[in-house]
A = this chain, B = another copy of it.
Amino acid sequence: MIAYHGHILFTKTSESFEVLPHGYVVVDDRGVVAGVYSQHEWQARAEIEVVELGNRLLIPGMNDMHVHAPQLANMGIAMDMPLLPWLEQYTFPEESKFADIAYAKHMYKRFVKELVKHGTMRAAIFATIHPEATECLADQCNEAGIGAYIGLVGMDRNCPEMLRNTVDEVVAGTERLSAHVAHYPLVKAIVTPRFVPSCSSDMLRAMGAQAAKEELMIQSHLCETPNEIRWVKELEPTAASYSDVYHSYGLMNDRTLMAHCVYPSERDIELLRQTGAMVVHCPSSNCNLGSGIAPVRQLLEKGIDVALGTDIAAGHDLSILHTMHYAIQMSKLVYAESGREVASLTLPEVFYMATKGGGRMFGQVGSFELGYDFDALVIDDAEMINGQACSEEELYLRLERFIYVGNDRQIVKRFCKGKEIIVED
């Protein structure tokens, strides 16, 4: 047993932070939280080694619930291009390079390193259509020690020939991926149809059946832009909504992650609610592509779970910490631009999304409550205190300043399920 002694902050609910100045989190040998104590409750025990974190902050690890690993090379470039030329000139050519396993290994190693550097301990990841490269991504996540859902992408229509697979290939590839990761403790396969416009009915049906049979997680995109929604309507004219297409093939349930939902219809919202599917809000991506601002407040009020995703390379940054402040900022602009009275998102709300909210999809992840996996980050913000002493009441403000102004430099230790994750130079 080991105890970490520092300033502890986490969110049990999205209402407010739990703040334990000079508190203790006890972690058992399985890497699971065995207790959390305030300074006054704590009683030293011989069998518990104490790791002193001093004036540093201890927070849960970040969960990036929507990210495209093969687009690392395109992160932060050609951001002012329109979507379609950008896909043709950057996204598709880059993804096609992952047919080369040596290239895949090189880039995925770099991707996982960058992910870890920014404090992400669990991620739901899109790979490409290439089974070997996708297994290589799973290997890299496992070697690094982080948790991940790895998706072999299915796409068999409306996409370049070089990035097309068949129904049989994606089903067999996902089965092979599942077998490949069977002994990896924190890495699993996730059924990953790219989105309705690039997947035939046969493909969606087969992927839905596979997800049901093996109780696999599912991830895709939903209602990102008005043009995309019109396109889905043309392709699937009998469906009552975009999400109904996924639903009719068994792809909407409480193991489903749907990225974006910037323009959900009433029917989409109802179906998300009924099925328990989780929305992954990707605010930096939505603003880089000019997609718009997702109605997160409305989704939350309907009882829909919302997590956060960086969505690189449409998102420009692999930091879920930065994604939090983008989520707040975008929520404020909804009000300013629409004139509607919408309460903007609060810091505990977005922190909850980034930790316990998304973490639910990995089990008991994203909190320091009893029984939760000890995923954690140690934050050394000494250089950021701006010349002012901070009282214990101000720990919440220190966390906030780190989220708005900080970066990976302040993350000095990382843990996933109790094990320290080292970033190699």
For residue A337, CB closer than 8 A to chain B, the reply is yes
Using Cβ atoms and an 8 Å threshold, which residues of chain B touch A404? 75-77, 79, 316-317
A80 touches which one: B72, B284, B333, B344 (CB < 8 A)?
B344
Identify whether the interface residues of A are mostly helix, strand, loop, or mixed: helix
> Which chain B residues border A405 with CB–CB below 8 Å?
75-76, 316-317
Query: Are A293 and B333 in contact, with the CB atoms below 8 A?
Result: yes
Contact, CB under 8 Å: A293 / B325: no
A19 at interface by CB-CB < 8 Å: no
Interface bits A56-93 vs B (CB < 8 Å: 1, else 0): 00000000000000001101111110000000000000
Q: Are the CB atoms of A78 and B346 closer together than 8 Å?
A: no
Query: 1/0 per position for A277-321, CB-CB distance to B under 8 A?
Result: 000000010011111110000000000000000000000110000
Query: Counting CB contacts under 8 A, is A387 at the interface?
Result: yes
Name A82's closest neighbour in chain B (CB-CB): B344
A405 to B284, CA, bound (A): 12
- CA–CA, A403 to B400, complex, Å? 23
Closest Cβ–Cβ distance, residue A133 to chain B (whole Å): 15
Assuming the contacts A317-B404, A325-B316, A387-B107, asked whether A291 and B79 have C-beta atoms less than 8 A apart, the reply is no
What is the bound-complex CA distance between A344 and B79, given in angstroms?
A: 11
Chain B residues with CB under 8 A of A403: 76
Q: Check A146 for interface membership: any CB of B closer than 8 A.
A: no
Q: Once the chains bind, are B329 and A288 in contact (CB under 8 Å)? A: yes
Q: Is A423 an interface residue, CB under 8 A from the partner?
A: no
Contacts of A402 in B (CB 8 A): 76
Nearest chain B CB to A339's CB is how many angstroms away? 9
A332 to B345, CA, bound (A): 21
Beyond A110-B387, A344-B80, whether A287 also contacts B73 by CB under 8 A is no
Which residues from chain B contact A317 at a C-beta distance below 8 Å? 404-405
Complex CA gap A79/B397 in Å reads 9
Beyond A106-B387, A337-B338, 9 extra complex contacts between A and B, CB < 8 Å = A73-B387, A75-B405, A79-B325, A79-B328, A79-B404, A287-B333, A288-B332, A293-B333, A317-B405
6 closest cross-chain pairs (CB), A and B: A290-B332, A76-B404, A76-B401, A292-B336, A76-B405, A287-B329
Question: What are 10 pairs between A and B in contact, CB < 8 Å?
Answer: A73-B387, A76-B403, A78-B397, A79-B404, A284-B329, A287-B333, A290-B336, A292-B336, A316-B404, A337-B337
